[in-house]
Amino acid sequence: MPMSVKLDDILSTLDSEFPQAQARLLEFLRIPSISTDPAHRGDVRAAAEWLCAELVGLGFDASIRDTPGHPMVVAHSPKGTRRPVLFYGHYDVQPVDPLELWTSPPFEPAIENTPAGPVIRGRGASDDKGQLMTFVEAFRAWKAVHGALPTDLVLLFEGEEESGSPSLRPFLRENADELRAGIAMICDTSMYADGRPAITTQLRGLLGQEITIRAADRDLHSGSFGGLAANPIQLLVNALASMKDATGRITLPGFYDGVPELTDELRADWQALGFDAADFLLRVGLKHPIGEKGRTALEMVWNRPTFEINGITGGYTGEGFKTVLPAEARAKVSFRLTGTQDPETILQAFHAHIRAAIPADCTVEFHGHGASPASRMNISDPAFAAAKQALSEEWGREAAYIGAGGSIPIAGDFKEILGMDSMLIGFARDDDRIHSPNEKYDLQSFAKGARSWARILAALT
């Protein structure tokens, strides 16, 4: 840490000003900024304006930037000699239905004592207004102590994250020079487990496809045609079953090209997490991990590619029975990708596999549902070690590098469009009920989250 940074003073300020920080977050949470609901369009803008005003008040050069959808809030601290850092969060929230399951009104947030400690209850408390405000409160305390903001900060807060971020990629492209930084901080994830801070350093990519197989030009009666006419459900089922061999490996030629083995460093970090696969499965009513032999559970979900059938439909599926040979059958499937697996190469191999299973008088049609490669951050960037150290000091536990089995598109977008890695650091808990009734954010997450960012800001120069 540069000798000039008064970290202890900043942390003390955060502690002493915490009641005011809570009040600000409650005010922010009272704005029902549901981005998917056109009736709340004005509320979404109001949340952007509230946030922008906060940032202007702190000395940021902040503005509301219109998009075809909901606006972005972009802010810059004064230019200096620090390595530029972008901070990303979102100020929109999920819908609240079913409303009757809330124990208190979702937009009348309050501090509530629970057996596990005090929480802030309300829609958006965890996802993502509470987390976003951990950034803002850290900046505020820094300003209070130093009389000026840290230099070279770029803030990007969007209002469409819960609606699929349709404006984000165009906005990044159009404002790439303005937004590009050395690294991005994303505060929209959870801690690894209660009390253990984590930095997500790799995310699986996603390749989604819909397949429609068509045989006869109408539904047929299986009494008249069964045994003679192709059944598109059987064709689909055969094609999908042969995607994996008996050991669970995906059979597409070249599929595993670019799939990396774990480094010793990450293997050790993941081992230390003490992940209990049996318990993880038991919580959803299962006992036996499936997938490739000889891989640990965390490897399977974080570092190995998968093929999953996410939906399938064909023929008669209502009550009772119909002896139909349907005209078509459909499936939605997805691959999770790791390392440098190329979505386009895999797409071509998948299409060839399916086509090879279809007779000449039947057809198959493909429809894409996204294709993004895996994200792997360069953890030899000293910022990672610095942030890990800062998190470990704040939480009193060794922070971990972890993976994520899912895709967080913003990280891929930053990499692809702005050429920068992201650090995904979040303080949400698994029981925060994000997207569900009675969302909450632990007061501890809010307090120590802001303190964590103060430490990270101090550690990055």
Q: What is the footprint of a copy of itself within residues 187-226 (CB under 8 A)?
A: 204, 206, 208, 210, 215-218, 220-226
Does the footprint of a copy of itself cover residue 438 (CB under 8 A)?
no
Considering the complex, state which of residue 178 and residue 245 has its C-beta at the smaller distance from a copy of itself. Answer: 245
Closest CA to 233 of 307, 306, 316: 316
Of the pair 85, 333, the CB lying nearest a copy of itself is at 333
Q: Which of the stretches 9-17, 59-67, 127-135, 227-235 binds a copy of itself when contact is defined by CB under 8 A? A: 227-235
Q: Which of residues 37-76 bind a copy of itself (CB under 8 A)?
A: none
Distance between CA atoms of residues 87 and 139, nearest Å = 11
Site string for a copy of itself, 91-110 (x = CB under 8 A): --------------------
Q: Per rule CB under 8 A, is residue 330 in the interface with a copy of itself?
A: yes
Three-class SS state of 164: coil
Task: Tell me the closest approach of the beta carbon of residue 447 to a copy of itself, in angstroms.
Answer: 27
Does 434 interact with a copy of itself (rule: CB under 8 A)? no
Q: What residues from 370 to 389 belong to the interface with a copy of itself (CB under 8 A)?
A: 370
Token reading at 239: 């094609």
Stretch that binds a copy of itself, among 31-39, 118-126, 131-139, 329-337 (CB under 8 A): 329-337
Q: Which of 294, 359, 380, 396 binds a copy of itself (CB under 8 A)?
A: 359
Q: How far is the CB of 320 from a copy of itself (least distance, A)?
A: 7
Residue range at the interface with a copy of itself (CB under 8 A); choices 57-65, 74-82, 145-153, 229-237: 229-237
Residue 362, interface with a copy of itself (CB under 8 A)? yes
- Indicate the SS3 state at residue 91: coil
The residue among 193 and 324 lying less far from a copy of itself, judged by its C-beta, is: 324
State the Cα–Cα distance between residues 136 and 457, nearest whole angstrom: 12
Tokens 């929109």: give the residue: 92
* Phi, psi angle pair for 26, to nearest 5°: -60, -40
CB 69 within 8 A of CB 137: no
Helix, strand or coil, per DSSP, at residue 135: helix
Q: How far is the CB of 124 from a copy of itself (least distance, A)?
A: 21
Nearer to a copy of itself, 118 or 405 (CB): 405
Alpha carbons 82 and 87: distance in angstroms, whole number: 14
Q: Minimum distance from CB of 359 to a copy of itself (Å)?
A: 5
Q: Indicate whether 324 belongs to the interface with a copy of itself (CB under 8 A).
A: yes
Q: Which of residues 23-42 bind a copy of itself (CB under 8 A)?
A: none
CB-based contact 184:421 (threshold 8 Å): yes
Contact 370, 424 (CB under 8 A): no
The answer to whether residue 231 forms part of the interface with a copy of itself (CB under 8 A) is yes
Query: Interface with a copy of itself by CB under 8 A: which range of 24-32, 176-184, 309-317, 372-380?
Result: 309-317
Minimum distance from CB of 238 to a copy of itself (Å)? Answer: 5
Task: Confirm or reject binding of residue 356 to a copy of itself (CB under 8 A).
Answer: no
Spatial CB neighbours of 428, under 8 Å, sequence gap ≥ 6:
126, 127, 131, 189, 190, 191, 434, 441, 445
**From residue 387 to residue 406, what is the string marking binding to a copy of itself with x (rule CB under 8 A)?**
-----------------xxx
Given the complex with a copy of itself, which of 258 and 289 has the nearer CB atom?
A: 289
* Of 110 and 316, CB closest to a copy of itself: 316
Tell me which of 274, 317, 356, 380 binds a copy of itself, using CB under 8 A.
317
> Which segments within 77-187 are labelled E, that is strand?
85-90, 110-114, 117-121, 153-158, 183-186
Residues sharing a CB contact under 8 Å with residue 412, sequence separation 6 or more, in sequence order? 203, 205, 372, 373, 375
Residue 382 CB neighbours (<10 A): 12
- For residues 182 and 405, which CB has a smaller minimum distance to a copy of itself in the complex? 405
User: In sequence order, what are the residues at sequence separation of 6 or more whose Cβ sits closer than 8 angstroms to the Cβ of residue 326?
Assistant: 215, 219, 231, 232, 233, 314, 315, 316
Strand-pairing partners, residue 85, are 153, 183
Place of tokens 């469409």: 160
Pick the closer one to a copy of itself by CB: 115 or 359: 359
- By CB under 8 A, residue 20 contacts a copy of itself: no
- Residues 235-294 touching a copy of itself, rule: CB under 8 A, are 237-238, 240-242, 244, 277, 280-281, 284-292
For a copy of itself (CB under 8 A), the number of binding residues is: 77
**Residue 179 burial by Cβ neighbours in a 10 Å radius (0-12, 13-18, 19+):** buried
230 binds a copy of itself (CB under 8 A): yes
User: Up-side HSE of residue 9: CA atoms within 13 Å toward CB?
Assistant: 10
